[in-house]
Chains A and B, each alone.
Chain A
Amino acid sequence: MKVVALVKAVPDLSESRYSKSEQRIQEKGPRLMPAVSENVLEVVRQIREMGKEVSAAGMLFGNQSEEAILRKALAFGLDQACLISGATDRTDPHVKSKLIAKAIEKLGVPDILVVGGASGFGGGGQVGVRVAELLGFEDVWTVQDAVSAKSKSVLVVEQGSNQPRIPNVMAVMKAGSKEMVMFKAEEFLTADEQKPVALISREEWLA
């Protein structure tokens, strides 16, 4: 069985400051893996423990510099990681979902896709359902722990829904040498196709 987990990168809120004039967060320091992604990885770990031959990959839509987050995800026991970088916009859920769906198709469509719900940082919690639709998955489940599904399914895991276990030292030390597949957004969508659709800009909103 093949599992793909979507992992997020969120700004470090202990370092970043909210700019009142710009009405947005001015990011400082490298992005971090949010708690909800640990909940996602715990579900993947439980799927593995259900006994079937499972190969699991983690996927991150973000910047090249966020490879460290995927390495951390690998330490939670994944076999492979995949980073999609170079997108012109990283907030629009429509564009994001399209890019992720294309990358998943290229990587090999899994039986189960595990995604996090809202991350607590601008999270609309849309990506899971959108990717399910794009890949033609029939079921979307909101789960706390692993479930066995018959058809190809998306499992949505909300933050705090389970108790992520701490990874083992051996897995941590091996994380550095596991396979990391790098995709560029332009391989899948042209700059035009990457224009935000689902979200409107602040200027448009205010007008």
Chain B
Amino acid sequence: MDFTFTPEHQMLREMVKKFTEKEVRPLSQKIDQEAKVPMELWKKAAELGLLGIAFPEKYGGAGAGEMGYCIMLEELAQGDASFTVMLGAHISIGAMSIYLDGTEEQKQKYLTKMCSGEYISAFALTEVNAGSDAANIETTAALKGSDYVLNGTKFYITNGGIANVVIVFAVTDKSLGAHGGVTAFIVESKTPGFKVGRELDKMGIRGSNTVELIFENVRVPKENVLGKIGEGFKTAMKALDRGRLSLSAGCLGGSKRALELSLNHAKQRVQFGKPIAEQQAIQWMIADMAAEIFAMESMVYRSAWAHDQGMRITREAAIVKMYCSEALDRIVDRGVQIHGGMGFIRECDIERAYRDARINRIFEGTNEIQRLVIARDVLTKGAY
């Protein structure tokens, strides 16, 4: 067993850390207040090749694997959660869907531009009546001549209002249900009939763009069918599988930052004549935070490594997503407690961290759904 990172991955971490400290973290409060990530920041990330990190060189990527991708998101999450989610949705589910199931032409046409940052991507599965029950989507795609015509409304779509390309899941044959009846489409946002509905005002990750997308007779050429007709649900599940691990790497980064902020505060805040860090009650919280971070780090990188070795990690990804998002919530909660009243005040970084953390237990499959996946897998295949 060898638990060391390769020299390349160590350098990658150092490089992203520098970028985070220099360019991302100083903007975090502004991103939250203005509910917007400046496009300048996206461009800077693109110039450094961060957007193509997980994809092969032939598409303009860096070929750093899931390991490299997780390292990047862990570091970025120590700078700003909204920006991390913006990149995460673009890479893990938007671009990833094309990488996993696209044809070579589709990859050359779209994935290369997603790696270079010229295109922002989004992934549109959820609808008002189909969240956890994603198989219940109602958006339709009907074949008319050489085009599919899309009609329907998607909800809660990350990057939806700023994306150039959206992966849209629609029903092509209602009689076949989700498996067989749902197809994935690559839809360019400039297509007539593609409309961005209202932008949703959120508790946390406020800078990440979350919108409603409306499709009114949107004509998509046949060559933009992603994967096989009727196999869209498989594409969606495969991409979400990948997303779960990197989302957890973001949770790990957020946790490390919350601990760092808490340590700084605990060492410096004096009550009863000594720093509160000397109180056992505070030390126990710090110990619990450190222990959970250790567990998160171990499971994220073990799973990323297994993935890069070609192993299937469906059960692991669900476990890691469930554990890390819940651990992050416990950690930011303790962080606020350690900060006392200051932890409840907007200008304090831990206040934002507390709000930003909460979404992780909900999106990319709620934690209840993760538990369903884990239990089903354990019950059918056995424990370990």
In contact, B11 and A72 (Cβ under 8 angstroms): yes
CA distance A72 to B14 in the complex (A): 10
CA distance A167 to B63 in the complex (A): 16
In contact, B7 and A169 (Cβ under 8 angstroms): no
Q: What's the nearest-Cβ distance from chain B to residue A3, in Å?
A: 21
Question: If the complex has contacts A75-B15, A170-B57, are A176 and B47 also in contact, measured as CB distance less than 8 A?
Answer: no
Question: If the complex has contacts A173-B62, A173-B63, A173-B64, are A167 and B15 also in contact, measured as CB distance less than 8 A?
Answer: yes
Q: What's the nearest-Cβ distance from chain B to residue A31, in Å?
A: 15
CA distance A173 to B63 in the complex (A): 8
Neighbour of A169 across the interface among B6, B22, B53, CB < 8 A: B53
In contact, A168 and B47 (Cβ under 8 angstroms): yes
Taking CB atoms, residues of chain A closer than 8 Å to B47 are 168
Within 8 A of A (CB), among B1-38: 6-8, 10-12, 14-15, 18-19, 22
CA distance A42 to B53 in the complex (A): 23
CA distance A173 to B72 in the complex (A): 13
Taking CB atoms, residues of chain B closer than 8 Å to A72 are 11, 14
In contact, A169 and B49 (Cβ under 8 angstroms): yes
B63-94 vs A, Cβ < 8 Å mask (1 yes, 0 no): 11000100010000000000000000000000
B50 at the interface (CB under 8 A from A): yes
Task: Name the CB-closest residue of B to A68.
Answer: B7
A71 at the interface (CB under 8 A from B): yes
Question: If the complex has contacts A75-B11, A173-B12, A175-B8, are A168 and B64 also in contact, measured as CB distance less than 8 A?
Answer: no
Q: How large is the interface on B (under 10, 10 to 19, 20 to 34, 35 or more residues)?
A: 20 to 34
CA distance A168 to B6 in the complex (A): 17
In contact, B18 and A166 (Cβ under 8 angstroms): yes
In contact, A169 and B64 (Cβ under 8 angstroms): yes
Q: Is the interface of A mostly helix, strand, loop or mixed?
A: helix
Q: What's the nearest-Cβ distance from chain B to residue A168, in Å?
A: 5
A172 at the interface (CB under 8 A from B): yes
Q: Is the interface of B mostly helix, strand, loop or mixed?
A: helix
Q: What's the nearest-Cβ distance from chain B to residue A91, in Å?
A: 27
Taking CB atoms, residues of chain B closer than 8 Å to A75 are 11, 15
In contact, B8 and A173 (Cβ under 8 angstroms): yes
Taking CB atoms, residues of chain A closer than 8 Å to B62 are 169-170, 172-173
Taking CB atoms, residues of chain A closer than 8 Å to B50 are 169
In contact, A166 and B11 (Cβ under 8 angstroms): no
Question: If the complex has contacts A68-B7, A176-B6, A176-B7, are A169 and B12 also in contact, measured as CB distance less than 8 A?
Answer: yes
CA distance A172 to B6 in the complex (A): 11
A164-190 vs B, Cβ < 8 Å mask (1 yes, 0 no): 001111101101100000000000000
**Interface hub of A68, A166, A169, A170 (most chain B Cβ within 10 A):** A169
In contact, A173 and B68 (Cβ under 8 angstroms): yes
Task: Name the CB-closest residue of A to B19.
Answer: A166
Task: Name the CB-closest residue of A to B48.
Answer: A168
In contact, B7 and A71 (Cβ under 8 angstroms): yes
Taking CB atoms, residues of chain B closer than 8 Å to A170 are 49, 57, 62
Task: Name the CB-closest residue of A to B47.
Answer: A168
Q: What's the nearest-Cβ distance from chain A to residue B341, in Å?
A: 33
CA distance A175 to B9 in the complex (A): 11
CA distance A169 to B62 in the complex (A): 6
Taking CB atoms, residues of chain A closer than 8 Å to B48 are 166-169
Taking CB atoms, residues of chain B closer than 8 Å to A71 are 7, 11
Q: What's the nearest-Cβ distance from chain B to residue A46, in Å?
A: 16
Taking CB atoms, residues of chain A closer than 8 Å to B18 are 166
B111-132 vs A, Cβ < 8 Å mask (1 yes, 0 no): 0000000000000000000000
CA distance A172 to B19 in the complex (A): 14
In contact, B57 and A169 (Cβ under 8 angstroms): no
CA distance A175 to B8 in the complex (A): 7
B35-52 vs A, Cβ < 8 Å mask (1 yes, 0 no): 000000000000111101
Q: What's the nearest-Cβ distance from chain A to residue B162, in Å?
A: 23
CA distance A170 to B19 in the complex (A): 15
Question: If the complex has contacts A68-B7, A71-B7, A166-B48, are A172 and B63 also in contact, measured as CB distance less than 8 A?
Answer: no
Q: What's the nearest-Cβ distance from chain B to residue A133, in Å?
A: 35
Taking CB atoms, residues of chain B closer than 8 Å to A172 are 8, 11-12, 15, 62
CA distance A173 to B10 in the complex (A): 10
Task: Name the CB-closest residue of B to A38.
Answer: B18
Return 14 A-B CB contacts under 8 Å, by A number: A68-B7, A75-B11, A75-B15, A166-B15, A166-B19, A166-B48, A169-B48, A169-B50, A169-B64, A169-B72, A170-B57, A173-B8, A175-B7, A176-B7
Instruction: Give me 10 other A-B pairs in contact (C-beta within 8 A), A169-B52, A172-B15 excluded.
Output: A72-B11, A72-B14, A75-B15, A166-B19, A168-B47, A168-B48, A168-B49, A169-B64, A172-B12, A175-B8
**CB-based closest 10 A-B pairs:** A169-B49, A169-B62, A168-B49, A170-B62, A173-B62, A170-B49, A176-B8, A172-B11, A172-B12, A166-B18
